[in-house]
Chains A and B, each alone.
Chain A
């Protein structure tokens, strides 16, 4: 395992999105767009991730991580 791989293992720098039953965790996003209880928009570079659902709320908002909970209906990705 190279040093960079090891560093990436400890400090993940790539964009990733983990979807669970009632929450979604996004790492290394670029910025937060608009958000409400029905829709949360998140940008990664020029791509938009649109999360739709009911009772959505941001539970954690860090510089490189965001955790959204609620009844997630759909996730759309596009430019």
Chain B
């Protein structure tokens, strides 16, 4: 649509002329009695010029689509610059110009930068969507499960800031993996049952407490090549000197595990038992009736039968009994695979109706204990 200005005498006649020739006037504005501005289709403009005769017709401006087109054409450089500018801003704001990993350990930093690069996160690339970042984080964590505990990728402007938490292993589990087997006491090695580790001391060797018997350090040409978990059992001959005493007169009340309940009536110091069953017994007494005025008492007793063992030993018998007692005490401490190699009494003496015996034992027992290896730099 265009707007044209028409001037001339009897302007109404010209309007009628336009109407007669089928020219649509979309808008008509009177400027004064002989001048109007009309809005017509651009295609009708030529027809108007043909019909103008004595009237003055001049182009004013365009309206609608034509106006917009003309406006665009006039400001095309500005508009194009604006569009290009917007595109550049969008382009730059969606680019990553640096990736920064915040962590003290340079190894972890380098590892993460490499992993991020493998997953398409490096400078001068486009930013990733939130879902994609989550996917990348999960992928990096799963492929570095032993090293990384957690990572976070934060988008700050045109920078990715990556925060990381290194996996700290529990010392009681992992630190113990690398270990030696050392002697826990002075001994002579009898046998070794080793599943892993490097044996440095052999059967028949005498070792002192703390000596390494099986090493977890793997050596090659006097150089450390690695570490392993020493595992196994070492049995050695260990020597003990014990002292045990045994009475020459022996008295023991031994439970027979038989039980009885009885009522007991006591008058002065005389006991009268109802339902008496045992000759000798130990009992728990529940007093049912006790008089302060009269020397009587009624009680209920839970009795356990006891057998009295009373013995008077000669020196020889007492010595054997002492050795037996000493041996049973030693044997009670032995574990599976351990045994007494030999025993010998060294001396004995009598004191307060007791015989005191010193016994020397040679015992085969497990002498190995695990000792963690502390590696420098860890």
Contact = CB atoms under 8 A, between A and B. Distances in A.
A35 B19 CA distance: 13
Contact of A61 (B28, B29, B30): B28
A36 interface: yes
A32 interface: yes
A61 B15 contact: yes
Interface in B1-57: 12, 15-16, 18-20, 22, 24-30
A22 to B, nearest CB: 15
Contacts of A59: 27-29
Contacts of B24: 61-63
A60 interface: yes
Contacts of A36: 12
Interface string A36-56: 100000000000000000000
Contacts of A35: 12, 15-16
B26 A62 contact: yes
A32 B16 CA distance: 7
Contacts of A60: 25-28
A57 interface: yes
A32 B24 CA distance: 13
Nearest to A61: B25
A57 B28 contact: yes
Nearest to B18: A61
Nearest to B39: A60
Interface in B287-309: none
Contacts of A62: 24-26
Contacts of B22: 63
A71 to B, nearest CB: 14
B26 A32 contact: no
Contacts of B29: 59
A24 interface: no
Contacts of B27: 59-60
A16 to B, nearest CB: 18
A58 interface: yes
Contacts of A31: 19-20
Interface string A12-44: 000000000000000000011011100000000
A61 B19 contact: yes
Contacts of A58: 15, 25, 28
A11 B12 CA distance: 29
A51 to B, nearest CB: 14
Contacts of B25: 58, 60-62
Nearest to B12: A35
A35 B25 CA distance: 16
Q: Which residue among B19, B20, B26, B29 has the maximum number of chain A CB atoms within 10 Å of its CB?
A: B19
A58 B29 CA distance: 8
A58 B30 CA distance: 9
Contacts of B26: 60, 62
17 contacts: A31-B20, A32-B19, A35-B12, A35-B15, A36-B12, A58-B25, A59-B28, A59-B29, A60-B25, A60-B27, A60-B28, A61-B15, A61-B18, A61-B19, A61-B24, A61-B25, A62-B26
Interface of A: 31-32, 34-36, 57-63
Given A57-B28, A58-B15, A61-B24, 6 more contacts: A32-B16, A32-B19, A35-B16, A62-B24, A62-B25, A62-B26
What 3 A-B pairs are tightest by C-beta distance, nearest first? A61-B25, A62-B24, A59-B28
